[in-house]
Amino acid sequence: MTNEICIFSGLGADERVFQKLDFSGFKTTFVKWIVPQDEETIEHYATRLLDQISATNPTLIGLSFGGLIAVEVAKQIDTQKVILIASAKTKSEIPFYYRFAGRLGLHKLLPTGLLKSSNFVTNWFFGTSSTFDKQLLKQILIDTDPTFLNWAIDKVTRWTNQTQTKNIFHIHGTGDRILPLGFINCDRTVKNGGHLMTLNKADELNNIIKQQI
């Protein structure tokens, strides 16, 4: 059992996406995204985030892109456990069409304004249906730093990790449209869970996470 948890939010998001999860009883650190350096690798970025982690042998929890970062951090420090939510463990779990786009640089053609907009398409992809979830997603997209967003998308599409980090527990939704379950080998599924199931499947996630920590 761990007493200290370090949490990595999704791409461009922050601790708001975890507001419905219960981490009471644990010392919790929400790791904040920092501005990436020019041409910075995901490995080096993870190293710079270590300044925010003072715990010894913590449990890491990563959502979406935060899961990739949690994996990279876990390759550099000892961890009690790594819990991934709607994420990927290795490059083989990143859909082939993202990796194809990364090899050709097609993702760089997407305008930042489009990526930061909130509409029925983004709500569909992220699986947000309630008014609260839609408004939160809209605000998160508005608040997302465009430099970080472009950098992070590039790292997702070109992630090279093949190391299966020890002590990983992977939770994935059957309704995830951004990282479809068909590409994922997970430990636990959440029925109809979308990419932001921390918001609309919080009760089920709370039960699963508490069993692990």
DSSP assignment of 41-57 equals -HHHHHHHHGGG---SS
Which pLDDT does position 21 carry in this prediction? 95
Question: How much is the average pLDDT of 90-108?
Answer: 87
CATH number for the domain whose boundaries are 4-212: 3.40.50.1820
Name the nearest CA neighbour of 38 among 119, 180, 154.
Answer: 154
pLDDT tens-place string over residues 146-163 = 889 889 999 999 999 998
Domain regions of the chain by residue span: 4-212
pLDDT of 10 above 90: no
Q: Which residues contact 147 (CB under 8 A, 6 or more apart)?
A: 35, 36
Output the average pLDDT for the chain: 90
SS3 174: coil
What type of residue sits at position 203? D
CB atoms within 10 A of CB 145: 15
CA 4 to chain centre: 19
**What share of the chain has pLDDT > 90, as a percent?**
66
Question: How much is the average pLDDT of 69-81?
Answer: 96
Query: Residue 27 — very low, low, confident or very high, per pLDDT cuts 50/70/90?
Result: very high
Encoding tokens for residue 129?
């249906």
Which pLDDT does position 122 carry in this prediction? 81
76 or 123: which carries more pLDDT confidence? 76
Whole-prediction pTM: 0.92
pLDDT of 117 above 80: no
What is the rounded distance in angstroms from the CA atom of residue 115 to the CA atom of residue 55?
35
